[in-house]
């Protein structure tokens, strides 16, 4: 039996604000680090999923501005990995991202399914 993990998380920062360059080095921005901490807190008690996985992300943007769906993936997946829910985002074999309706404040729903 395959165990599926499903959870709702805060809307991630855009990849455009996730990284910063400091003294010639690319670093995760303060906003990005704060998001990782918040996701780790939200996922406390969620069992890790080991091995290769499929991930579905439903994105509910905070407003009607134009947004690229792929801009939410990196920060979100890195935060989930940092929280220990998946071993490494390189273990994702199947990744689907779906835009949902606008939701005040924005949110994302993530479903992780182990691959057979």
Q: Which residues are CB-contacts of 73 (< 8 A; sequence separation ≥ 6)?
A: 15, 57, 95, 97
Number of H helices, E strands in the chain: 3, 6
Mean pLDDT, residues 72-93: 95
Average pLDDT rounded to a whole number, residues 67-96: 95
Mean pLDDT over 97-101 rounds to: 97
d(CA 14, CA 31): 10
| Pair 46, 81: CB distance under 8 Å | no
DSSP character at residue 91:
G
As a residue count, the chain comes to 116
- Mean residue pLDDT of the chain comes to 93
Q: How confident is the model over 6-56, as pLDDT tens digits?
A: 999 999 998 888 888 889 999 999 999 999 999 999 999 999 999 999 999
68-81: pLDDT as tens digits:
999 999 999 999 99
Task: Report the predicted TM-score, pTM, of the whole model to 2 decimal places.
Answer: 0.91
């Amino acid at each position: 039996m395959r165990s599926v993990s499903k959870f709702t998380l805060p809307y991630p920062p855009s990849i455009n604000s996730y990284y910063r360059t400091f003294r010639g080095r690319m670093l995760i921005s303060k906003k990005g680090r704060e998001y990782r901490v918040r996701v780790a807190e939200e996922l406390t008690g969620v069992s890790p999923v080991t091995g290769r996985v499929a991930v579905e992300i439903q994105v509910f943007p905070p407003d009607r501005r134009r947004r690229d769906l792929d801009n939410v993936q990196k920060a979100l997946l890195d935060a989930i990995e940092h929280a220990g829910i998946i071993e490494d985002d390189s273990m994702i074999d199947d990744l689907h991202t779906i835009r949902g309706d606008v939701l005040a404040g924005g949110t994302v729903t993530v479903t992780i399914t182990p691959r057979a």
